[in-house]
Structure 1
Amino acid sequence: MAEYPQLLHTVLDAVEVRELAEFYRRLLGLQYRPGDDPPAGGEDEADWLVLTDGQGNRTLAFQQVERLERTTWPRPDVPMQLHLDLTVPDREALEAQHRRALDLGAELLFDRTDDPDEPLYVYADPAGHPFCIFVA
């Protein structure tokens, strides 16, 4: 059993997935995960993209949404929005980390542990930010 879940990458919602991924790729000197590069001359229909560091470690991911209100931070009208994906090696570790998350104050939002390919739990942290723990 893993003592702690591992951070996989940070996921940012975006109306224009490629545009936001490209901004961060350039700003931070990251690379696209193999297969996520912009298409050569074709129409880009990406709804999920991942950026990696120089060693191939995932750092940021971007997922398509239809609408996204810009944050008004530091005013609280529209808070900052993101979620974290945390991984564990197997179902036993998933259940152990599930209990730990709840004990530490997380609120269970969604249980998809019946998925044979990617069992997961989705939680809200004590401040309300969502995160997932799933079997990698």
Structure 2
Amino acid sequence: MSEVTGVPVVRQVVLDCRDPRALAEFYRELLGLRYRAGDEPPPPGQPDPAGADWLCLRRPDGEPCLAFQAVPGLPEPGWPDGPHPQMLHLDCTVPTVADLDRAHGRALALGARLLRDRSDDPEEPLRVYADPAGHPFCVFVVPPD
């Protein structure tokens, strides 16, 4: 809840995509999130009515985090430019370069594409990826205080 009465609070970031289940599964695995009750995948071979339109992922503490909304025919965003430029991207952090390298392997294994590699930058090691739907996201090092 906002500390200032009447001021909106960001609840979650919503990513438009063609396949909400596929993109939700990517971020669930990548970020260690869990489904909102009722949004879990059905057993194999069963229909997935929830996954056809809108899904929500939550942090391990239960707080909302990401949601996925079906938009049929959505063009894939381009980064850094292209016919359909990005409108938003996610910034994710890890505490060390070793963690950045581990996250890199996980991201690629889950279907991300590497767009830019600055993992050797001494000021701010980072990598930029596209998720399976083409949305860009960054993983960079922010050492603990």
Q: What's the TM-score once normalised by structure 1's chain length?
A: 0.56
Q: Answer yes or no: is the 8 Å Cα contact 1:12–1:81 preserved in 2.
A: no
> Kindly, what percent of the aligned residue pairs are identical?
45
State the Cα distance separating 1:3 from its structure 2 match. 5.2
Alignment of 1:21-100 (within 5 A): 21-41=24-44, 42-45=46-49, 46=51, 47-81=53-87
Answer 1 or 2: higher relative contact order, Cα 8 Å, separation at least 6: 1
Count of matched residue pairs:
83
Q: Deviations over 1:82-121 (max 9, x none)?
A: 5xxxxxxxxxxxxxxxxxxxxxxxxxxxxxxxxxxxxxxx
Runs (4+) of structure 1 exceeding 3 A deviation are none
Q: Deviations over 1:50-87 (max 9, x none)?
A: 000011100000001111111112115212145xxxxx
Instruction: Judging by fraction of residues, say which structure has more strand.
Output: 1
Structure 1 stretches of 5 or more lacking a match?
83-136
2: CA distance between counterparts of 1:78 and 1:29? 29
2: CA distance between counterparts of 1:12 and 1:38? 18
State the Cα distance separating 1:4 from its structure 2 match. 2.5
Aligned AA (1:24)? Y
Q: What's the TM-score once normalised by structure 2's chain length?
A: 0.52
